[in-house]
Amino acid sequence: MKFKLTNFIKKYFRLIVQILFFSCLIFNFEYGIIIWGLFTILTLFLGRIYCGFFCTIGVYQDWVGNLGKKILKDKFDTLIPRKTSKILSYFRYVVMTAWAFFATSFFTTNIMGKIGSPSPNAIVNLAFSREIVGVAVIISFCIFTVLSLLVRRPYCKYFCHGSVEAGALSFARIIKLKRNPELCTNCHRCEKICPMNVPITNLETVCDGSCISCFQCIGSKGCPKKGALYLDVKPLKNIFKRNETVFGKILIKKINKSI
């Protein structure tokens, strides 16, 4: 059996990236403004790719979930029905509102103190005291570890306020995931492997705020039918066609070869 680098990359590229970025967390590496700027650009092109490839919390949930899948097998990720899961996902907006309130409190504390109004310092200090935060982090870690053994990415689905913001931005993504209904066999293999339970077979353009752009649906364990599920790069090609540059022509040729 011959070793093919392309197949290896297709199968393990996401895992390699996840290990690298998880290592950044362990060694306390801080992302600079350039890295975050790059993530923003990637989001505009590919959607919530940070969530699918780089987020350390998501990575941890994936790894624990893989263990849960081996233990529970077919019963894994069946604890919460999909309709209930959809309803529970709206709790992220509550978390986002609460996060915005406490974040705003830090900025308004000094202003309120200067005008003589009651300062929210007491509430903020109580909510964010070192002891309370430490206990809350440990308890949350244990809860989400257990939940990740039962459900795919529970934090991302029901609690992450960042997923709301990134999801809204991803609707404007340039390169979209599309399904060809004529080639699709409705085997639902793409939906079974999707960690966010996106109803892919009900859509022609997978423009869902829950999609984390992990591309497992078109990976080695995803859609078995060639051309049934694919990334539409035509908008990107059109951008470079408008700009008749040498770089644009070279990139278009490479895109055409990869399709």
What separation in angstroms does the CA of 47 have from each of 53, 67, 129, 158? 11, 27, 36, 19
**Does residue 88 register a pLDDT over 60?**
yes
Supply the pLDDT for residue 39.
83
CA–CA dist 90, 35 (Å, integer): 29
More confident call, 11 vs 4: 11
Q: What value does the mean pLDDT of the chain take?
A: 79
Q: Is the pTM of this model over 0.85?
A: no
Structure-token match 């907006």, residue found: 93
CA separation, residue 86 to residues 77, 157, 198 (Å): 14, 9, 10
Are residues 175 and 46 in contact, defined by beta-carbon separation less than 8 angstroms?
Answer: yes
Q: Any idea which residue has 């790059």 for tokens?
A: 38
* 162 in Cβ contact with 153 (< 8 Å): no
Give pLDDT tens digits for 196-252: 989 999 999 888 888 999 888 988 788 998 889 988 887 766 666 665 555 555 655
Pairing relationship of beta strands 205-206 and 229-232 according to DSSP bridges: unpaired
Q: What number is the average pLDDT over the span 63-67?
A: 93
List the chain domain ranges: 1-174
For residue 229, list its beta bridge partners: 179
Contacts of 177 (CB under 8 A, 6+ apart): 205, 206, 211, 213, 215, 217, 218, 229, 230, 231, 232
Beta-sheet strand order (sheet of 205-206): 205-206, 176-179, 229-232
How many other CB atoms are there within 10 angstroms of residue 257's CB atom? 7
Q: So what's the pLDDT on residue 3?
A: 43
pLDDT for position 64? 95
Whole-number pLDDT of residue 26:
73
What distance in Å separates the CA atoms of residue 122 and residue 104, rounded to the nearest whole number? 15
